[in-house]
């Protein structure tokens, strides 16, 4: 533990274990196998709540399009929302808005050609929430 002095001279001990555990989670996510978009995507995704990171295939290491968690189903988040969906805030709309892809109709082909995802199983809701904040802060997705 590390100590930090307060204005009144007392000290707070900072426990480094949570930081270390979040570093471990980040490492596990970034070293997870890639799940390619396209045929077989839905079946390749775990049905339960998880963490996700979506990157461009030709991006620099550590450069991500999306990162976050889902408290429901990863299949729903990646397949239905980001791959099939048309709601604001999903990957397809983000690609058009950011001018990575010229039209919404071409986004699925663009995603297949240029993107891939990684997923990580985290069962505990609190750990999943803390990990989301840590992962997003470190990766700074687009």
Count structural domains, the chain.
Answer: 1
**Residues facing 68 on adjacent strands:** 52
Residue 126: predicted pLDDT: 87
- The backbone torsions φ and ψ at residue 130, rounded to the nearest 5 degrees and listed phi first, read -60, -40
Identify whether 20 is part of a domain. yes
**Full residue range of the structural domain in which residue 51 is found:** 14-139
Identify whether 2 is part of a domain. no
Identify whether 124 is part of a domain. yes
SS (H, E, C) 87-133: CCCCHHHHHHHCCCCCCHHHHHHHHHHHEEEEEEECCCHHHHHHHHH
Residue range 35-62, pLDDT digits in tens? 888 888 888 887 776 778 888 888 888 7
Digitized pLDDT (tens) for each residue of the chain, 142 residues in all: 444 444 555 455 544 566 788 888 888 888 889 888 888 888 888 777 677 888 888 888 878 888 888 877 878 888 888 888 888 878 899 899 999 899 999 999 999 999 988 888 888 888 888 888 999 998 888 8
pTM of the model: 0.76
Identify whether 71 is part of a domain. yes
Identify whether 1 is part of a domain. no
């Amino acid at each position: 533990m590390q100590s930090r002095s307060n204005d009144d001279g007392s000290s707070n001990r900072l426990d480094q274990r949570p930081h270390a555990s979040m570093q471990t989670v980040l490492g596990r996510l970034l070293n997870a196998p890639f799940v390619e978009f396209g045929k077989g995507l839905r079946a390749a995704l775990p049905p339960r709540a998880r963490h996700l990171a979506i990157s461009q295939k030709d991006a620099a290491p550590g450069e991500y399009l999306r990162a976050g968690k889902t408290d429901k189903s990863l299949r729903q988040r990646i397949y239905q929302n980001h791959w099939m969906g048309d709601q604001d805030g999903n990957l397809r709309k983000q690609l058009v808005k950011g001018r990575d892809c010229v039209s919404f109709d071409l986004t699925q082909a663009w995603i297949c050609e240029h993107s891939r995802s990684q997923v990580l199983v985290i069962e505990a809701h609190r750990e999943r929430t803390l990990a989301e904040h840590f992962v997003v802060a470190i990766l700074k997705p687009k």
